[in-house]
Amino acid sequence: MSRIGIKPVAVPQNVKVSLVKDIVEIEGPKGKLQFPLYARIKVNVEDNQVKVSRVGNTKHERALHGLTRAMIANMITGVSDGFAKGLEMIGVGYRGQLSGNKLVLQLGFSHPVEYIVPEGITLEMPKPTQIVVKGIDRQKVGQAAANIRAFLPPEPYKGKGIRYVGEAVRKKAGKAMAK
């Protein structure tokens, strides 16, 4: 039995869950999300709880059971609270600024790096070296943060680059001086 799939998902008062054919629609104060259901996965909404079950017991169905429950739980969290991912730039002269729906980064290259913010994602910059990626879709927030980090991942010798807040970068020892 799926340990994750059998747990019911609690639905807050300000969130509405509905089933339309084979699509789960979740609407809350921050927005609306949809998730298509697989044919052999069943979802029941009762008593402010969402319960996910499966028809058979094949390996594929067991995998989809836990996945569907996790997706629904993430969607409920997203429309009620939202998701955020923090990034920080470490390095002399590294900074960024927002201009409209574009993030312009100075990362030590000969040109500024521009990133167009995808729909459903908002960026905040509390400091010129910090970026906060926010949104209601957990996958989109993580992908946008990963795309920004990919412009200059942290290098292993000095640790310079763009990293997630709290990320530990393993540093390598430099070249030893020969005498």
Establish if 170 belongs to a structural domain.
no
In this prediction, residue 1 carries a pLDDT of: 58
In this prediction, residue 82 carries a pLDDT of: 94
Count other Cβ atoms within 10 Å, centred on residue 78: 23
DSSP, collapsed to helix, strand or coil, labels residue 138 as helix
In this prediction, residue 2 carries a pLDDT of: 67
105 and 75 housed in the same domain:
no
Exposure string (b/e) for 105-124, b if CB count within 10 Å is 16 or more?
A: bbbeeeeeeebebeeebebe
Sign of the alpha-carbon dihedral angle for 158, 162, 168, 170 = negative
120 and 154 housed in the same domain:
yes
87 and 76 housed in the same domain:
no
In this prediction, residue 174 carries a pLDDT of: 80
93 and 159 housed in the same domain:
yes
In this prediction, residue 178 carries a pLDDT of: 62
In this prediction, residue 175 carries a pLDDT of: 80
88 and 159 housed in the same domain:
yes
117 and 151 housed in the same domain:
yes
Do residues 83 and 76 make contact, with C-beta atoms less than 8 angstroms apart? Answer: no
**Ramachandran area for residue 71 (φ above 0: left; ψ -120 to 50: alpha; else beta):** alpha
CATH number at residue 25: 3.90.930.12
The domain boundary, picked from 80, 98, 114, lies at 80
Q: 51-55 long-range contacts, Cβ below 8 Å, gap at least 24?
A: 51/8, 51/9, 52/5, 52/6, 52/9, 53/5, 54/2, 54/5
pLDDT string in tens for the chain (179-residue length) = 568 888 999 999 999 999 988 899 999 999 999 999 998 899 999 889 999 999 988 999 988 999 999 999 999 999 999 999 999 999 999 999 999 899 999 999 999 999 999 999 999 999 999 999 999 999 999 999 999 999 999 999 998 999 999 999 888 888 876 66
Q: How many domains does the chain have?
A: 2
In this prediction, residue 5 carries a pLDDT of: 84
In this prediction, residue 179 carries a pLDDT of: 62
In this prediction, residue 176 carries a pLDDT of: 76
In angstroms, the CA 137 to CA 26 distance is 12
Backbone angles phi, psi at 56, to 5 degrees: -110, -160
Can you read off the two tokens belonging to residue 81? 């609270």
In this prediction, residue 21 carries a pLDDT of: 87
Establish if 1 belongs to a structural domain.
no
Establish if 171 belongs to a structural domain.
no
DSSP, collapsed to helix, strand or coil, labels residue 176 as coil
Range of the domain at 14: 9-80
160 and 88 housed in the same domain:
yes
DSSP H or E segment with residue 140: helix 138-149
Q: Which H, E and C letters describe 40-91, residue by residue?
A: CEEEEEECCEEEEEECCCCHHHHHHHHHHHHHHHHHHHHHHCCEEEEEEEEC
Q: What is the pTM of this model?
A: 0.88
